[in-house]
Amino acid sequence: MIAVIGAGAFGTALAVSLARNGPVVLWARDKDHVKEMQATRQNARRLPEITLPQAVTVSTDLACLADADIVLVSVPAQKLRAFLKSHGSKLAGKPVVACCKGMERGTGLRPTQVIAEHVGDAVPAILTGPSFAQDIAKGLPTALTLACADEPMGEHLQARLSTPNIRLYRTTDVTGAELGGALKNVIAIACGVAIGAGLGESARAALMTRGFAELVKVAETYGANADTLAGLSGFGDLVLTCTSEQSRNYRFGQSIGAGETFDTGLTVEGAATAQALEEIARDAGLDLPITHVVTGLVRGELNVRDAMDKLLQRPLKEE
């Protein structure tokens, strides 16, 4: 049996898709939310209009993890450590697949590193790539990256987690896959700002291209394979997140660019990741101009005009 921790939109969508292969337990901490889902067979709060298959059991009881041979953890990156500190012992000895994208503020750690710290004998993996929850839940075709340093376990997870509409590609470059998924959210905010402020499609294309260069620079600094960043978890995810209003990071950037308020109840991983990356870049001596201005915009230290001027007035150089 497969267990999915976290009944947000993405966790619910994965549970719906994986139920085509067999029984799935979907865990949520909010008892009222769970009762709603049990009664209506829908997650109206996070993924409306999608019916939960009968193969999905919704529960607040983490005892269900005892029967799970694979655990997918779909909680926000900034809340992952708190969950694992409280419940990591229940995941001991199991393959634990992170289904979140980001870098932890204060430590700069990636999801699999946080899992390794808190789950004894865990085999950490990451599921990442260009995907929206609605598409997955509706059964639309999606291709994702499954990254696991343990190659035999990666092959096992690839076989178990592939579904009729989700095609998984496997890699052992966990670092590259995680960094691609985390950093593209920062660039998506920048692209949203450009469109929200009326700076045009050409500006977005430039930000995506130069943003990709920042992704590769950071990944190589951490010893990742640059080819991984050219795949689904890097370039593929970057394209999707920077061009669609389904992306919360992109919409968040749009709201900044347009001078509008944004729903504070929605998780925007790129905002926290930008600030975590800013700290890392400073310590490592990395020049990440787009990340720098996104951090300034998120903190309210820069306005859009100042951010644009900072990028356009940089010294001319070879590409």
State the amino acid at position 200 in one-letter form: G
CA 298 to chain centre: 18
In angstroms, rounded to a whole number, what is the distance separating the alpha carbons of residues 98 and 153? 14
What stretch(es) of the chain map to CATH 1.10.1040.10?
184-312
How high is the pLDDT of residue 267?
A: 85
Tell me how long the chain is: 319
Q: Which of 85, 75, 143 is nearest to 111 (CA)?
A: 75
What stretch(es) of the chain map to CATH 3.40.50.720?
2-172
- Please identify every residue annotated as catalytic: 184
How high is the pLDDT of residue 314?
A: 84
Q: How far is CA 46 from CA 7, 31, 59, 102, 268, in A?
A: 8, 15, 16, 20, 15
Q: Which of 287, 294, 292 is nearest to 269 (CA)?
A: 294
For 281, phi then psi, to 5°, come to -60, -40
Helices (H), the chain: 9-18, 31-40, 80-87, 111-118, 133-137, 151-161, 174-196, 201-221, 226-229, 237-243, 248-258, 269-284, 289-299, 304-312
How high is the pLDDT of residue 319?
A: 78
Query: 2-172: what CATH class?
Result: alpha beta
Residue pair 129/148 in contact by the 8 Å Cβ criterion: no
Query: Biggest alpha carbon distance in the chain?
Result: 61
Tell the CATH topology of 184-312: N-(1-d-carboxylethyl)-l-norvaline Dehydrogenase; domain 2 (1.10.1040)
Segments of the chain scoring below 70 in pLDDT: none
